Amino acid sequence: MPSAVWVVSTDYGDGTTGLSFPSPGGSYKNIDFSGADKNAKYMKAFCDNGVKVWLQVEPADADVSKLIDLVLTQYTSYESCIIGFGIDVEWLER
């Protein structure tokens, strides 16, 4: 079974992580959002082609529990191909 790690955020180096999809609304400390969902077409392709995916974040100083909630809520419609969640600890509270 093919699988992949798909990184959905980037550590900006200033304590903030940038999620590569739009905000669901509200304000989140140390979390920035993209104006467009940069992952949806890839998630659809993964699911359509039987690729199992680990979603991963580079958390910086953001609340990891909040990041997990935001990411899994954003991609709930792709749950058939999501098999896990990763936290790149190299980018945790640096």
60 by Cβ neighbours in 10 Å (0-12 / 13-18 / 19+) ranks as buried
Residue range(s) defining the domain that contains residue 18? 3-91
Reduced to 3 states (helix: H, G, I; strand: E, B; else coil), residue 81 is coil
User: pTM of the entire structure?
Assistant: 0.92
25, HSE (Cβ side, Cα atoms, 13 Å) = 0
- φ/ψ (deg, to 5) at 42: -75, -40
At 1 the pLDDT is 82
Q: How confident is the model at residue 94 (pLDDT cuts 50, 70, 90)?
A: low
Residues in the chain: 94
In total, how many domains does the chain have?
1
